[in-house]
Amino acid sequence: MAAAFDVSGESSATGASPRSSGSMTVAAVADRVVIGYAQLSGNAAAVGTVTMTFAGNAMTQLAAVEWNGRYSVLFGLTGDASVVTGACEVSWTGAHVATTYCGAIVCNGAPGGYGTASNDSGTGTTASSVVTTASGDVALVFHGDDNGSTLTKTADDGTTAWLDTTFDTNTGASWDNATASTSTQGWTLGSSVGWYNHKINIKASAGGPSAGTDTATAGLTESLNTVSVTLSIQESG
């Protein structure tokens, strides 16, 4: 079974903590995963400690990075009892009241959960990332840039989850139902500015047995042991 994109949502505004993505209707399909993203237009000192929930359930922080006077975070959550219809909400303890962007992407059919988050960054008019995947996975990329004049999705493997150029940082997210070992996703910026991408893979497979627990090998070993014991009894008799 392949993992699949389900739903996404995002919003942005100025003001004090917290900030919500707005409610998302989550399909009742098994093995659900949600990845939440927030971009705060303030440095780490202004932001303080950042936490995130989805439908009121605490999420696990996967990445937190300060770049160009901005602070971006990535959070994850798995479990069908927790990933249900509701909103992604980011909270912070600092005095930050400038723009905050909060969004999330929900996937299902993913018993493998999520992989390890990583990132790409640079300065220029293109902001592209390559996600390592397996066929049947869903590759996600979350983008922020230093207020380029425009932001458009590049024609590549990714499908737009959202684009937000409302305030002083451009943000976007995209996803890809992967059919190969890599997924390339990116954006074109209208002017040369600094940018930062978070990337992560949603895994369709939970993986096979670990080393030393292969069921076929274990069964063969047990059979050989039985034969050995039987022969030993016959020889001693």
| Nearby residues of 182 by Cβ (< 8 Å), 6 or more positions away | 130, 131, 132, 133
Domain carrying residue 78? 4-206
70 neighbors 108 (Cβ within 8 angstroms): no
Number of domains in the chain: 1
φ/ψ of 48, rounded to 5, equals 75, -145
Is 225 within the bounds of a domain?
A: no
Predicted local confidence at residue 207, as pLDDT: 60
Is 125 within the bounds of a domain?
A: yes
Is 223 within the bounds of a domain?
A: no
For each of the chain's 237 residues, which pLDDT tens digit applies? Answer: 799 999 999 999 999 999 999 999 999 999 999 999 999 999 999 999 999 999 999 999 999 999 999 999 999 999 999 999 999 999 999 999 999 999 999 999 999 999 999 999 999 999 999 999 999 999 999 999 999 999 999 999 999 999 999 998 899 999 999 999 999 999 999 999 999 999 999 999 986 333 333 333 334 334 434 333 333 434 445
Is 234 within the bounds of a domain?
A: no
Name the burial class of residue 30, with classes exposed (0-12), middle (13-18) and buried (19+) by CB atoms within 10 angstroms of its CB: exposed
If DSSP codes are grouped into helix, strand and coil, which group holds residue 32?
coil
Is 133 within the bounds of a domain?
A: yes
CA 59 vs. chain centroid, Å, equals 12
Predicted local confidence at residue 217, as pLDDT: 34
